[in-house]
Amino acid sequence: MIRIGTAGYSYKDWIGPFYPEGIKDSMMLDYYAQNFRFVELNSTFYHMPSQRLFQSLNKKTVHGFSFSVKLFGGFTHQRDCGQKEADDFRFALMPIVDNDKLICLLAQYPYSFHYHQENLDSVKRLRDWFPGMDVNVEFRNRGWIRSETSAALREQNLGFVCVDEPGLKGLVGNVAAATSKIGYLRMHGRNEAKWYAGEGSQRYDYLYDWNELNEWVPAIMELEKKTMQMVVSFNNHPIGKAIENARMIEKMIADLK
């Protein structure tokens, strides 16, 4: 199964390109879920979520719709969270867990998170903190692309997140791999000029053309064979570009099936 969607859904600049004029914020997910079966929830990276949030998300989506949920930055960036915070995070998720709407947790580490044993042990602790949940890990630093990383992820049943991003030195690059039953691809865009120099979401302001998306289609199809679910999330969200590209690749894959 391949699920295609976007990283987030509540963007004001999607009104017009995707959402109808006059739509209320509270109705955006309802509208989104009529067009896609999956969304990556990123707001949980910025603050610890409450169970009330996921009760609302569950009520607004039908059976068959799914979420991936980005881990709070305290686990991956500040790294000052531990078992108690993990228990609180898991408790908040229960409404979508109980209704079979959670695909996986997304643990995205920053570029400054370099490969060495202490950091590898930190990644492995995700399995202790979130037992029984699928967790997929995104690295931003090229140093993690090595056999030791793959072996550790497989051993801990942690998924690898493939990324499409600019071909800048030090970044992970377009590596296609799966280390658990959940395959995951995040499409960040290839805006080299703004990747480091841009402000806010400028680094993700990029529209893929047909040929650039087609580069990934064989890999997506192959990863689908190796996993139980393959997730493709478009993070190039400015002005609805993610929506346009998600629809494009959805059609490309449908034409092959």
Domains and CATH numbers, the chain: 2-254 (3.20.20.410)
Structure tokens at 254: 């449908």
- φ/ψ region of 228 (left if φ > 0, alpha if ψ in -120 to 50, else beta) reads alpha
* Residue 142 confidence (pLDDT) above 80: yes
pLDDT value of position 201: 86
The predicted model gives 41-70 an average pLDDT of 96
196-231 tens-digit pLDDT: 887 778 999 999 999 999 999 999 999 999 999 999
Q: Is the dihedral of CA 216, 219, 222, 228 positive or negative?
A: negative
**In percent, how much of the chain has pLDDT > 70?**
100
Can you give the pLDDT at residue 199? 77
CB 71 within 8 A of CB 79: no
What is the model's pLDDT at position 60? 94
Q: What is the pLDDT of residue 197?
A: 85
Give the burial class of 111: count Cβ atoms within 10 A of its Cβ; 0-12 exposed, 13-18 middle, 19 or more buried: middle
Task: Name all contacts of 90-93 with Cβ < 8 Å and 24+ positions apart.
Answer: 90/130, 90/133, 91/51, 92/48, 92/49, 92/50, 92/51, 92/53, 92/54, 93/49, 93/54, 93/69
- Give the mean pLDDT of 12-30: 96
What is the chain's mean pLDDT, rounded? 96
Of 157, 108, 149, 161, nearest to 133 by C-alpha is 157
Mean pLDDT of 146-172: 96
Is residue 53 scored above 90 in pLDDT?
A: yes
d(CA 229, CA 2): 6
Instruction: Give residue-wise pLDDT tens across range 109-141.
Output: 999 999 999 999 999 999 999 999 999 999 999
Q: What is the pLDDT of residue 257?
A: 72
